[in-house]
Amino acid sequence: MNCNKCRSIGALWAIGQGLTSALAPQLSVVFIRKMIGKNFENAGELEAKPEYVRQIRALGIGLAAAGIATLAMERVADPDEN
C-alpha cells in the first residue's frame, strides 16, 4: 500500500475522531467510564468535571486541525520529493 495513501487515511480518521470529540465530548466520557468499569467497582457513579469535558473538546479540535494540516500538506507536496 502506498505510504501517501496510508497517511491520507490516517488524516481522515484524525479529522473524524477530532470532530466527534469536539462536538460530542460526552461520548468519550461514556466510553472511558465503560472501560474503567471493566476493572473497577462503582465506575458507573463517576461524573466528569466540566474541566475534563473542555479538555476532551480541546484535544478533539487539535486532532482535527492536525488531520486537516496533514491533508493540506499532502496536496501541496512536490511529487518528486517522495
Residues with Cβ < 8 Å from 15, sequence gap 6 or more?
A: 63, 64, 67, 68, 71
**Mean pLDDT across 8-16:** 94
So what's the pLDDT on residue 55?
96
Q: What is the pLDDT of residue 71?
A: 93
Which pTM value belongs to this model?
0.80
Domain map (residue ranges) of the chain? 3-81
Cα dihedral sign, 41-46-52-54: positive
Report pLDDT digits (tens) over 22-66. Answer: 999 999 999 989 999 889 888 888 899 999 999 999 999 999 999
